[in-house]
């Protein structure tokens, strides 16, 4: 099944438009679909969960696992201690695919959490559990982790359906030589065969009433992606050796196959909120863009 067919099945199950992928009774589809357009934080992966590329207990699929390091820009401005802490915690996005009563695959849930190495394993921790789990971070490490953990509250679901979800992750990104806060938006869906697909794109306008597209680019991620993310360092963002919130920045979106979309789709992809009709239009146009290349 093509990417376009896979994404369009998500749209069909909304009960909005079904002719693209076959006959489904609209009334029954609406009854079966869980729809949620409320902006809310993503679910947290429970502390103690071991993250594995092939999935783990309670989670069938790794969506994205980010291992960060400082490797570009004013790297010498960061002390060895800061560099060590920058690489100490990894960010994990997990999904769980389930079956409904009729045997159809659905996106049961998607979650996020920070991990650290415990006995060689990537284990999700929280401020309350890192010591009992065997990852005593110490006073400085605990403070660094608490700040990272609080930032998870800003990663929010924008639109949720039975087969897919759009969520936003605020991120510091290197743009035109400067560190700027942007939104990295993800769309994650499950195909009729139970496989998980993920695309992402960057949006400008953080903290403003409306978002705006950046470069009209979207990226289709590889399944179970483990990203070795090299961060850019701005030496001017340090005070007595202590980095500010925007001292480090990503230099690009996660790696994958890149697509250029037209202005109409880019505008839809930048909507701050969706309703059933705008979501359908967005996903339909996105599926067409991905299948055309």
Q: pLDDT of 155-194, one tens digit each?
A: 999 999 888 999 999 999 999 999 999 999 999 999 889 9
Per the prediction, the chain carries an average pLDDT of 85
- Domain locations in the chain as residue ranges: 3-291
- Whole-prediction pTM: 0.87
For 6, phi then psi, to 5°, come to -60, -45
- Most distant CA pair in the chain: distance in Å? 65
User: What's the Cα-to-Cα distance from 152 to each of 56, 212, 259, rounded to whole Å?
Assistant: 21, 23, 28
Q: Is the CA virtual torsion 37, 38, 42, 43 positive or negative? A: negative
% of the chain at pLDDT higher than 90: 54
């Amino acid at each position: 099944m093509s990417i376009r067919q896979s994404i369009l099945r998500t749209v069909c199950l909304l009960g909005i438009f079904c002719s693209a992928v076959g006959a489904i009774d609209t009334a029954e589809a609406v009854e079966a679909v869980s729809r949620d357009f409320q902006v809310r934080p993503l679910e947290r992966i429970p502390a103690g969960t071991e993250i594995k590329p092939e999935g783990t207990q309670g989670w069938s699929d790794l969506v994205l696992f980010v291992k960060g390091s400082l490797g570009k820009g004013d790297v010498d401005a960061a002390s060895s201690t800061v560099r060590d802490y920058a690489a100490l915690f990894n960010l994990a996005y997990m999904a769980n695919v389930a079956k409904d009563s009729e045997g159809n695959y659905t996106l049961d849930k998607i979650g996020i959490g920070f991990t650290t190495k415990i006995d060689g394993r990537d284990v999700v921790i929280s401020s309350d559990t890192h010591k009992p789990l065997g990852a005593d971070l110490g006073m400085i490490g605990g403070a660094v982790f608490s700040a990272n953990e609080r930032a998870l509250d800003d990663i929010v679901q924008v639109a949720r359906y039975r087969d897919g979800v759009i969520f936003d992750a605020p991120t510091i990104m290197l743009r035109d030589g400067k560190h700027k806060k942007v939104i990295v938006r993800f769309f994650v869906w499950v195909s009729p065969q139970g496989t998980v697909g993920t695309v992402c794109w960057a949006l400008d306008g953080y903290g403003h009433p409306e978002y705006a597209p950046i470069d009209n680019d979207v990226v289709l991620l590889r399944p179970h992606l483990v990203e070795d993310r090299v961060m850019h360092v701005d030496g001017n963002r340090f005070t007595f050796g202590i980095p500010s919130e925007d001292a480090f920045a990503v230099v690009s979106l996660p790696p994958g196959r890149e697509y250029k979309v037209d202005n109409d789709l880019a505008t839809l992809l930048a909507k701050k909120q969706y309703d059933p009709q705008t979501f359908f239009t967005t996903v339909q146009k996105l599926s067409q863009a991905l299948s055309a290349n």
